[in-house]
Chain A
Amino acid sequence: MTPVQLYVLAGVLLCGLGFAGFLLTSHLLRKLMAFNIMGSGTFLLLVGLAQPNNTPDPVPQALVLTGIVVALAATALALVLMRRWYHLSGRTDLQGGPGD
């Protein structure tokens, strides 16, 4: 198995794992972690699929860098919202709480 195939395989597995985690957990922080795992899997796929013969392609790497920043921004925003929600409602998930 070539390193690229390994990347792709890992990416696929992380995607599946993250996807299941995202849907199965209701704790907001765990959901967010699952999202990040799935995101990492996607980034691995993006880089891995683009270089079948092991010569690096700068474009997907740049894309992934951009993607990471975007995912980071979303994660940070989610954390801020989540913490405020937690302090207002005392809940770590979105079921119940005020105004449901």
Chain B
Amino acid sequence: MLALLIPGLLFTPLALAVLCLLVNFRIGRLFSWVGIIVQVLVALGLWATVADQGGLYYDLGGWAAPLGIELRVDGLAVTFVLLTAVVASAAALHAGAYLDPRKGYQSYFWPLLWFLWAGLNGVWLAGDLFNLYVGLELISLAAVGLVALGGEAPALRAALRYLYAALLGSLGYLLAVALVYGSYGTLSLSGIAELAADHPPAPLILVLAALGLALKTALFPLHFWLPAAHGIAKSPVSALLSALVVKASFYIMARLWLEMGEQAGSIWLAQGLGALGAAGVVVGSWQAFRQSRLKMVVAYSSVAQIGYLFLLFPLSWGVATTTAELAQQGITLHLISHALAKAAMFLAAGNLILAVGNPQVSALAGVSRFLPFSLFSFGLAAVSLMGLPPSGGFVAKWLLLQASLAAGQWWWIGVLLLGSLLSALYVFRIFRASFLETGSDDPFYHPPRSLEVIPMALAVMAIGLGFVANLPLTVMALPVGGGVP
């Protein structure tokens, strides 16, 4: 079964990218619908198989690592593959109705989307450091292409700023890879993890990788490129970028940290990254509060939410194994629930802007009365984002609180609690604007139901994750067990 699932997972997005490039927007949309069904089924199948039988290494081309490239198909990877399938499908379905097919350049949306999707799958599964680099670049360039699509000046500026940041970040990572290859003579992550105990890696490796990848993940104060890029792109694109793309670089960093953090890490690096993350939570939330445009609020909120991810480093370094596990679980759940909630939020924000015809927060007055459905999706997503129960965001916050308390690092507790309140500050600013009554006439355009249902579905998933969190937590802990299928 796996012998077909894994090639299917890699092949479908790439094949669709090729097909969609050759046709116009409408036919591309048709192809993509088929592709979405295939991808979701394959991702589900893979997830179920790994949940059932445990993970494995897949040797691409039949060449085993370290000579060849292996894919690490473990519980965490397939969980993210499934997450990607869900979020990307939602964004793609939304885009199919949201984007204007009369604009010629929109036909490039589909091939770029499928390359992005392929890159994401590649990164989740990669077991090879250099392969991660190529996957990361595939993601970055596709994402930049998506931001720049349409080629208007503000989008170009955002895209260029994003591209330059991404390039510098990738080089930082590549330098780290060069040092690793020089030290070990291999690029296989599993091989390095085995060797790391006897041959401690140079501390600079982790520092370089951390800096480069933090730039790509938009860790404060390296977040300067994110709000413009995520705020200016079309809503489905923003959803993809905030939900998945920034997570890819974080994922690589987390994998590196968990493989060689023990030897190459230090308390300074761990606490420093955590402190920057904490600063990101505070500054990002405050900036979000100060924005006048709806999508910029959501974009800055990503800066804040990304900050939490970096608590992984202090909470998993030099602490008891159970504490580190709690932290990993909390961070993974936070990543997943933020992906779902933020995608829902961007799509809902897109609908609201479409309905109101104005990107300003202050234009939302009356929305609660006439567009309750879109606002409700936004609200549900916001509940998870604020970490209020019952939601995936709450469970994640709970686990992180437990980890901080167990690690005795009480200073992160303040960040977690304050972060909730700060996020409420910018979220409720939007509700405040939309609850104002304007009069009994409905001045709004009503988006089609198909557009409104998608963010609602994502938001419901973000909430629902709070009830079934145990399941993904069990699966994502599954290590690689078997060999070739």
> Which residues of A approach B to under 8 Å, CB–CB?
15, 22, 28, 31, 35, 38-39, 42, 45-46, 49-50, 60, 63, 66-67, 70, 73-74, 77-78, 81-82, 84-85, 88-89, 94, 97-100
Q: When the two chains form the complex, which single residue of B154, B160, B161 contacts A99, counting CB atoms closer than 8 Å?
A: B154
Q: How far is the CA of A85 from the CA of B140 in the complex (A)?
A: 19
Q: When the two chains form the complex, which single residue of A63, A78, A99 contacts B153, counting CB atoms closer than 8 Å?
A: A99
A46 touches B153 (CB 8 A): no
Q: How far is the CA of A64 from the CA of B347 in the complex (A)?
A: 40
Chain B residues in 8 Å Cβ range of A70:
133-134, 137
Q: How far is the CA of A95 from the CA of B447 in the complex (A)?
A: 36
Q: Is B148 an interface residue (CB 8 A)?
A: yes
A35 touches B157 (CB 8 A): no
Residue of B nearest to A88 (CB): B153
Which residues of B146-168 are within 8 A (CB) of A? 148, 151-154, 156-157, 159-161, 163-164, 167-168
B159 touches A97 (CB 8 A): no
Q: Which of these binds chain A: B97-105, B170-178, B383-391, B417-425?
A: B170-178
Q: Given contacts A42-B174, A49-B178, A88-B156, is CB(A77)–CB(B163) below 8 Å?
A: yes
Q: Is B433 an interface residue (CB 8 A)?
A: no
Q: When the two chains form the complex, which single residue of B144, B174, B182 contacts A67, counting CB atoms closer than 8 Å?
A: B174
A77 touches B171 (CB 8 A): no
- Within the complex, what minimum Cβ distance (angstroms) separates A60 from chain B? 6
Q: How far is the CA of A49 from the CA of B162 in the complex (A)?
A: 31
Q: How far is the CA of A45 from the CA of B137 in the complex (A)?
A: 20
Contact sample, A vs B, 13 pairs, CB 8 Å cutoff: A39-B171, A45-B179, A45-B182, A63-B130, A63-B181, A66-B134, A67-B133, A77-B141, A77-B145, A78-B163, A81-B156, A88-B152, A88-B156
Q: Sort chain B's interface into a size bin.
A: 20 to 34
A74 touches B137 (CB 8 A): yes
- Within the complex, what minimum Cβ distance (angstroms) separates A9 from chain B? 14
Chain B residues in 8 Å Cβ range of A63:
130, 181
Q: How far is the CA of A21 from the CA of B136 in the complex (A)?
A: 24
Chain B residues in 8 Å Cβ range of A89:
153, 157
Chain B residues in 8 Å Cβ range of A38:
168, 171
Q: How far is the CA of A97 from the CA of B161 in the complex (A)?
A: 14
Q: Is B185 an interface residue (CB 8 A)?
A: yes
A49 touches B134 (CB 8 A): no
Q: When the two chains form the complex, which single residue of A39, A60, A67, A74 contacts B141, counting CB atoms closer than 8 Å?
A: A74
Q: How far is the CA of A29 from the CA of B133 in the complex (A)?
A: 24
Chain A residues in 8 Å Cβ range of B159:
81
Q: How far is the CA of A7 from the CA of B178 in the complex (A)?
A: 13
Q: How far is the CA of A39 from the CA of B156 in the complex (A)?
A: 24
Q: How far is the CA of A100 from the CA of B168 in the complex (A)?
A: 23
Q: How far is the CA of A97 from the CA of B178 in the complex (A)?
A: 39
A50 touches B167 (CB 8 A): no
Residue of A nearest to B185 (CB): A50
